[in-house]
Amino acid sequence: MKKAPRSEAEVFAELADLASSEGYVHAVALICCRDNLIPYVDDLKASDLQKLYRRDRLIRTEITTLLGLLARRTIDAALPTSEVMQEYVARTDALMEELHVAIGSPMFDLMKAAMKSEIGMLTSGAERRCASRSSMGANRLSSSSIAISRWRSTEETILG
């Protein structure tokens, strides 16, 4: 049985507790370097920038959230051991991923319910326009028909 995701408030509270840990500011600095610095040799190439598009990196707003949580209390700048710092970083990454699930879960639940009841979000307008164009003999794919096709192709994945 699949475990129900924790609420956004629960995950955020744990993230706030982590941010108040001794030396956590150094973990945030490490995350900033890991996710924003671009190492390259000689000339900067497009391939050097690929790491900026990884799904597992924290974006500016997420790092700003961590900084805001740090600023809530007196910052303890004691330097933790490298093992502790790696644990802080790993826990931060896991909590941010869990926060994404907690925030997105209600939306996906609504999408699942809509697909199960055959009242999809696109049914009202775009799908009807697509159907009417098809009946009129349109030979090209419209952007709405492509969107509907993509939407329907993910139905099994979401309902999974």
- Are both 137 and 84 inside the same structural domain? no
- Are both 38 and 69 inside the same structural domain? yes
Cβ atoms within 10 Å of 58's Cβ, excluding its own: 20
Which of 84, 106, 128 delimits the end of a domain? Answer: 106
Provide the 8-state DSSP code for 99: H
- Are both 18 and 73 inside the same structural domain? yes
Q: Encode pLDDT of 59-89 as tens digits.
A: 999 999 999 999 999 999 999 999 999 999 9
Q: Please give the residue range of the domain that contains residue 154.
A: 120-160
- Supply the pTM of this predicted model: 0.66
- Are both 89 and 18 inside the same structural domain? yes
Which residue's entry shows tokens 């190492």?
39
The total number of structural domains that make up the chain:
2
Given a cut of 60, whether residue 9 has pLDDT beyond it is yes
